[in-house]
Amino acid sequence: MNNDLRFTRQCVRYIANFDLSELSIIKTDFLVIGGGAAGFRSAIEAGKHGKTILITKDKLGESNTLYAQGGIAVAKNAGDQVIFHVEDTLKAGDGLCDEVAVKVMVEEGIDRVDELVSWGADFDKHDNKLAFTMEAAHSQRRIIHAKGDATGAETERVLIRKASESNNINFLDRKFVVDLITFEDRCYGAILWDEENSRLSAIIAKATILAAGGLCQIYRHTSNPEVATGDGYAIAYRAGCEMTDMEFVQFHPTTLYVQGAPRFLISEAVRGEGAILVNENGERFMPFYHELAELAPRDVVSRAIVAETTKTNTKCVYLDLRHLDADFIKNRFPTISEKCSNYGIDISKDLIPVQVSAHFMMGGVKTNLNAETNIKGLYACGEVACTGVHGANRLASNSLLESLVFGVRAAKSAVNDIDIEIPNSIFSLKYKREENLSSNIDFNVFRASIQDTMWEKVGIIRNKEQLEEAIAFFDQYGDLNPKARSNFEVQNMLDIAKLIAESALIREESRGAHYRSDYPYQDNDNWNRHIIFARA
C-alpha cells in the first residue's frame, strides 16, 4: 500500500512585513542556507559553477554536525557490502524507506567519504587503515570516526577549509532567514534579519539550497544545540513546500542526565564498544526488551529506558563501562570522558546516568532523488530534507552520510538554474501579513511552554488525548509578531510543533520512532504510507 495521505492547513505566509524595494539586496547565483555538513558540501559543489553565498544564523560552523559524535556509516570495511548496509537501513526504517534513495546514499556515500579523506579528514586508524566500530542495528562494523568521538567536528573542519579555498564562495554568519522569497511558484532567495543592526535585508538568488536542519529544541530535553529550532522546516512550509513524515522524531536513548545541566549526547558507539545499560538496582535490562539488547534500534532502547524508570520510580538509568579497559575507553571517547569528568564522573570507574532526549527528525521537506522540492529553484538536503532514506527510524550514523551525498545532489540540480533570468518585478515585491491577538506574548515563557507541551504530550509515547490537547494549545496562536531572532525562532517552533502533533494524531499505529499507546501495533494494511502536509 502506498497511497500517501495529503493534507493542507492554514499558516502564516510571511512572518514579517517587507518591501524588497526598500531593503538592501545582494544578488548571487546560488544561496545555501545552513552551515552543517549538507550546507558546506553543497556550497563546495555549487561554487564550482557560480557565485555562492552560504549563510548561517549563528557563528560559522555552529550546527548539529559540529556535535555529532558517533561517526559516518560507510560500507568500506573488509567483509562489508553495499547490500548489507542497504538492508540494515531498510530494516531500521520499518517499512517506510525509499529503497532507491537508500541505495543512492549507500553507493555514492563511499565516494563522498573518500573525498573527505583526500581533503585531509583525519579519521581514526588501526594498523594504518580506517578503524570501524559497531553501532545499534548495524550488522557490520562500518562506522568510521575521528578523534574518538568528534567525527562531526572533524568533518565540518575539513568542509569549511575546502569551501574557504574557493573564490566563488562567500560566508555570511549571524544572518537569520525570516522567510523565503517566492514569485510565481519559484524561489528566488530569502529575507534575512540582521541581529546586529535590527533590520531586514535580502539575498536574491537563481537557486536556493536549504540545508538548515535540526528542530529538537522544540522539546524540553534534547541533544541538539540551541540553534536547532526548526527554522529550515518552518520557512519551507510557509513558502508552500510539501512536508512529510513529521511524526517521526527520533529520541536518543543515552544523553547525560545531571540535574540542572543541559543534556549531553553519549554516543551510540559507547554501547557499540560494549557498554551495557543497568537500572537503579544495578540490573541489566535490555535483554528482556530485545534480542539485540543494547544494540537494538534506538526507538526500542528509548522506550525500554522509559519503562525501567517508570518501574523503578527513578529519573534515569545508567551506562556501565566498568568492565571495559579504562585506557581504551578514555582514548576512544575523549570528549565524553572530559564532559563527564566535569560533573565528577569517571567513565571507567563510575556509572554514567543517562536519560532519553529528542535527537533527530526523520521527516521534513519532501524531495526527490535530486533534492528537488515541489517549488522550482528550491532544493533541500541534510536533516531538513526528507529524502526517504530514514523511513520511520534512522539507522545510526547514516545522517552525515546522507548530508554529504544529497548535499552534492542538491548542488548539481541547482546548477541547472544558472542561466535563468531573474524577473525585474522580484525587486519590487511587497509582502504584508495581518496582525492578530498573539502580538503581545512573552516569547521566553511561550518558548518554554512549547517545549514542555511537546515533551509531555508529543514525546516518546503518545496517545490521542494528549495529542489533541497539544494541538488545541498550539491552535490558540498564529502570527506572533516577532521582532528579534529569538522571537522568530519561537514562531518557527510553533509552526513545526503543530505539524508534528497533527501528523502524530493522524497516524493511528506504532511504527519506528512513532509510538501510540492507544495503537501499540504496526498496521501495514492501513498505514504503510506517508502523511504529507502543505500550506493551504
Convert 484-509 into a string of H (helix), E (strand) and C (coil).
CHHHHHHHHHHHHHHHHHHHHHHCCC
Q: Which three cell numbers stand for residue 311?
A: 518501574
Phi/psi of residue 496, nearest 5 degrees: -80, -35
Cell triple for 139: 550488522
Report residue 92 as a C-alpha cell. Answer: 531500521
The rounded distance, in Å, linking the Cα atoms of 360 and 462 is: 17
* Residue 494 bridge partners (DSSP): none
- Please, are residues 331 and 347 in contact by the beta-carbon 8 Å criterion? no
Element at 37 (helix H, strand E): helix 37-46
The candidate with the shortest Cα–Cα distance to 124, out of 413, 412, 328, is 328
Q: Coil, strand or helix: which one is 59?
A: coil
d(CA 61, CA 120): 18
Q: What span, in angstroms and rounded, lies between the C-alpha atoms of 154 and 352?
A: 26
Distance CA(444)–CA(379), nearest Å, equals 32
Considering only CA atoms, which of 228, 187, 244 is closest in space to residue 210?
Answer: 187
Cβ atoms within 10 A of the Cβ of 434, count? 9
Cβ contacts of 126 within 8 Å, gap of 6 or more: none
Using alpha carbons, list the distances in angstroms from residue 527 to 21, 95, 316, 511: 48, 10, 33, 9
- What residues contact 1, with CB distance under 8 A and at least 6 apart? 524, 525, 526, 528, 529
Could you confirm whether 516 is annotated as catalytic? no
Identify the three-state secondary structure at position 339.
helix
Beta-carbon contacts of residue 451 (< 8 Å; ≥ 6 apart): 217, 218, 219, 220, 493
Strand partners, 191: 179, 202
Distance CA 522, CA 1 (A): 14
Q: Cell for 66?
A: 559540529
- Cα separation, 53 vs 46, in Å, equals 10
Annotated catalytic residue within 41, 263, 298, 485: 298
Angle CA(96)–CA(101)–CA(103) in degrees, nearest 5? 110
Region of 79 on the Ramachandran plot (φ > 0 left; ψ -120 to 50 alpha; else beta): left
Q: 249: which strand partners?
A: 361
Beta bridge partners, 427, equal none
Cell representation of residue 214 = 535540526
Q: What are phi and psi of 94, to 5 degrees?
A: 55, 40
Residues marked as catalytic: 298
